[in-house]
Structure 1
Amino acid sequence: MRTPAKLTASLLACCALLGSATVPTAAGQQAHPVSCSDTDLPVSGPDGPTTVHGRFCLPAGTTPRAVQLLVHGGTYNSAYWDIPHEPDRNSYQRDMAAHGYATFAMDQLGAGRSGQSASPWLLLPAAAKAVHEVVGHLRAGHVGGLAFEKVVLAGHSVGSGVVAAEAATYHDVDGVILSGITHLPAVPVLALGVLFGLRPAFTEPRFLGSDLLYFTTNPGSREWLFYHRENADPAVIAADEATKDQVSVPGMGTVAVFGIVFPVTAAIDVPVFQPVGEKDVLFCGVLALRDCSSAEKLHAQEAPYYREAAKLSTYVLPGAGHSLALHRNAADYREATRSWLRGTLGLAPEGYHPIG
């Protein structure tokens, strides 16, 4: 069980983030009012029936035919996609909705307000199955009463490994976005991150009651693990710290091996968009044998891990670290994502019309 403090913090965050908002856009563009709501969905967890919690955002007053299913990384929850500091500026979900795209950001099992299964059983197959069942809910109209014709999976970091495994196993989505990931992690940096950046989650009051193999980040470690300081807002990093979560160590291990290093992506048969931060110390640079200085160089290195049907597109966000959605210039990454949705998948914005 989570502590009352954890529950209270979650409820306060939800109250702050729920409701309608209008997100500023670039000159010459007209934002659309945003509607967000929270939903719990039944899924079959690894140790019995449970629920997945998620936040659903869309342009107010629309019935879109497509939705992005957003899957966060390790030690995060769905707040990664809707960070509470200046959400009109920093929220992936609200910005997407203001530009005509629906999103559903789920808490992975063991994180946020989703069911907390025993950590040894939260392995990659269980995580991918939960995502698969949420895809089914989205198509069946169980979220917002809208039966979506198109579902695009979008992951970040460990969540991208889960997304890749889901798409490769179930073949039930129309496109895949794998952010904050390459196929060759920087093993020395990851080892340092584990040794100095992580600790058992139960050592913090908000995770009291978690079992021994749930871990979270040490206070202050998120900044050097997940950010390029010169391009990060300290207030966003603070909000990230305040909303951080736990991750199953066995689960993270199986995702790293079978969802990232092993080329499970070779079985993905729908278009893939792979955006990373130029300064991502976990998946880019000499120690990862990955040159993330340009999209072209990244594409040449990553293309061998995909089949032709994936139509791999790559993108590099300049000056951004691992959590690229939370950097100062993240708006460029979001716009690149929308460009891919329009150009490759043919998903035009709904409820949004540019001026002129």
Structure 2
Amino acid sequence: MKLPVKVTTALFACGVLFASLTAAVPAAAAAISCTDTDLPVSGPGLPPLVPGAPAVVHGRLCLPAGDAPDTVQLLVHGGTYNSAYWDLPYEPQRYSYQRDMAAHGYATFAADQLGAGRSSRPLSLPLSVWAAAESMHEVVGHLRAGRVGGVPFAKVVIVGHSVGSGIVAVEASTYRDVDGVVLTGITHLPALPVLALGAALGLQPAFLDGQLGTLGSDPLYFTTKPGARAGLFYAAGDADPAVIAADEATKDQVSVPGMGTVALFGIILPATWGITAPVLQVVGEKDVLFCGVLALRDCSDAAVLRAQEAPYYADPSKLSMFVLPGAGHSVALHENADEYRNATRSWLQDRVGIAPQGYHSIGRN
């Protein structure tokens, strides 16, 4: 029995359409490529596992499909975090900074700071802001030399969060080896009473923590107490409880001496005065640690906040400001974090001259 010509044609067309759709699925799934690597760096006070071996910074490189971009963002997490802050294992299409940037044509390398994640864990006492900044300077060198993913990146933009922003400020002002700087989760006048209360009630030695106690950390590595992250890092009404749970599950430790030197020399004094590259500063409107009356900072308006922060930069014309409405301290993990990422991409294009290289649907490797 022969089928009518029209029916045969329709079936053929459907077959072609189905084949094209199924062929597109692997391409979309492979749009984003993420690979992990370890990089040798200087490690203060670190007894090497192998005599003479260097310390190691672990990190994850995420690239869009096609030719690798010539620019990479070096991502530096905050205290009690690790690189999972930039690639949270929960709804990555909404909360992963790395995968969203790759989907929009930007490369990122999220590093575990020394003492956290899968990087080396030196003694906490010598792990100062200068030691941490030196290790990130060495990572910048590795990125430019093509030792990460085989890609010699011509430009590096360094991005920090909270304590990581203080380290980034010291790195950028000391070595002047980056093309742009993004500082998130800080202002130059922290709400000291809130920070002190948060530290007293919300932190504990990592070796006493049920989740991190097996790391064998020395007594000056601290982490957050169970349940403390919600109040310290998030604003009610703009945070998904499942995100906070994922944050809690991936939390890490921070060196108390390192955190102290970051606060004093990286943020308050400040190191930002020596930065010569364009700077984007990002703050959550309801960040209780760095905004409000106790911090003498009005985070409800980006223009007002920029005027308050501008005196801490040698060239205020290079400072851009973005306030994420309704968000708390950890801006990358709030429900409207896409606004912050969009603002970062606009700044990269408008102020640093870095355009995306391709646009690809988000994928999982």
Relative to the length of structure 2, the TM-score reads 0.87
Match of 2:334 in 1: 327
CA positional deviation for 1:352: 2.3
Deviation >3 Å, runs of 4+: 20-23
CA positional deviation for 1:58: 1.1
Q: Describe the superposition over 1:91-114 as per-residue Cα deviations: whole angstroms up to 9, x where unpaired.
A: 000000000000000000000000
Provide the rounded CA distance (Å) in 2 between the counterparts of 1:267 and 1:136: 20
Amino acid at match of 2:39: L
Could you tell me which of 173, 189, 193 is aligned with 1:184? 189
1:348 aligns with 2:355: yes
Q: Describe the superposition over 1:28-75 as per-residue Cα deviations: whole angstroms up to 9, x where unpaired.
A: xxxx92111111000011125210000110102222100000000000
Amino acid at match of 1:83: L
Match of 2:77 in 1: 72
Matched ranges for 1:153-172 at <5 A: 153-172=158-177
Could you tell me which of 227, 245, 259 is aligned with 1:220? 227
SS where residue 260 of structure 2 aligns?
helix
- Gap change, CA 1:232 and 1:127, over 3 Å in 2: same
Q: Describe the superposition over 1:110-140 as per-residue Cα deviations: whole angstroms up to 9, x where unpaired.
A: 0000000000010011000000000000000
Gaps of 5+ in 1: 1-19, 24-31
Gaps of 5+ in 2: 1-25, 47-53
Provide the rounded CA distance (Å) in 1 between the counterparts of 2:183 and 2:316: 16
Match of 2:13 in 1: none
8 Å CA contact 2:28–2:360 kept in 1: the answer is no
Match of 2:213 in 1: 207
Could you tell me which of 288, 292, 295 is aligned with 1:288? 295
CA positional deviation for 1:207: 3.2
SS where residue 85 of structure 2 aligns?
helix
Provide the rounded CA distance (Å) in 2 between the counterparts of 1:282 and 1:21: 43
Q: Describe the superposition over 1:167-194 as per-residue Cα deviations: whole angstroms up to 9, x where unpaired.
A: 0000100000000000000000000111
Match of 2:306 in 1: 299
Amino acid at match of 2:245: A
Provide the rounded CA distance (Å) in 2 between the counterparts of 1:57 and 1:158: 23
SS where residue 121 of structure 1 aligns?
coil
Match of 1:82 in 2: 87
SS where residue 143 of structure 2 aligns?
helix
1:37 aligns with 2:35: yes
8 Å CA contact 1:201–1:215 kept in 2: the answer is yes
CA positional deviation for 1:353: 7.9
Amino acid at match of 2:37: T
Match of 2:276 in 1: 269
Q: Describe the superposition over 1:132-167 as per-residue Cα deviations: whole angstroms up to 9, x where unpaired.
A: 000000000000100000000000000000000000
Q: Describe the superposition over 1:228-260 as per-residue Cα deviations: whole angstroms up to 9, x where unpaired.
A: 021000000000000000000000000000000
Cα RMSD over matched residues? 1.6
Could you tell me which of 86, 93, 115 is aligned with 1:110? 115
Q: Describe the superposition over 1:239-286 as per-residue Cα deviations: whole angstroms up to 9, x where unpaired.
A: 000000000000000000000001211100010000100000000000
SS where residue 109 of structure 1 aligns?
coil
SS where residue 119 of structure 1 aligns?
coil
Larger radius of gyration: 2
CA positional deviation for 1:89: 1.3
Relative to the length of structure 1, the TM-score reads 0.89
Give percent identity, aligned residues only.
Answer: 70
The number of residues matched between the two structures is 327
Instruction: Single out whichever of 103-112 and 32-41 deviates more from structure 2.
Output: 32-41
Provide the rounded CA distance (Å) in 2 between the counterparts of 1:233 and 1:317: 16
Provide the rounded CA distance (Å) in 2 between the counterparts of 1:257 and 1:161: 9
8 Å CA contact 2:65–2:360 kept in 1: the answer is no
Amino acid at match of 1:123: S
